[in-house]
Amino acid sequence: MNTVFIKSGEQPRYFAWSGVLSRTTTGASSPTYKESPWSTFQAIVTGTGSVTATVLIQGSNETATFNGDKSNWVTIDTYTLSGTTTATNGSTSVSTWRYVRANVTAITGTGATVEVIMGV
């Protein structure tokens, strides 16, 4: 008989950029292992006045991409955030990507900061 484990309900995981849990410029986060096919993603931009950001959620099954030897990321979802002081967007995902990362491709606004969270 095979044993099946279903993993869910863990604490949300913040994507990190060199150990920092938020981003004020464009760039990709460190990749993280995605333990479950079921997950949620949420991107948040905060600042003063008008703030905008574009965030890509990207996945790969390739260990060499996770290790940084290659860069074969596939875009799973795109969030275009725009608001006054804060804006957020998110989605659910049922996919078996082994590794995921957040990639901030645009950010504007006074003191604008982006956080991206994964729930499993």
Q: What is the pTM of this model?
A: 0.89
Residue ranges and CATH numbers for the domains of the chain are 13-119 (2.60.120)
The two tokens of residue 57 are: 């959620």
**Please, are residues 6 and 112 in contact by the beta-carbon 8 Å criterion?**
no
Per-residue confidence in pLDDT tens, the chain, 120 aa: 677 656 566 778 889 988 889 999 999 999 999 888 889 999 999 999 999 999 999 999 999 988 989 899 999 999 999 999 999 999 998 989 999 999 999 999 999 999 999 988
Helix ranges restricted to H, the chain = 63-67
The two tokens of residue 52 are: 């905008």
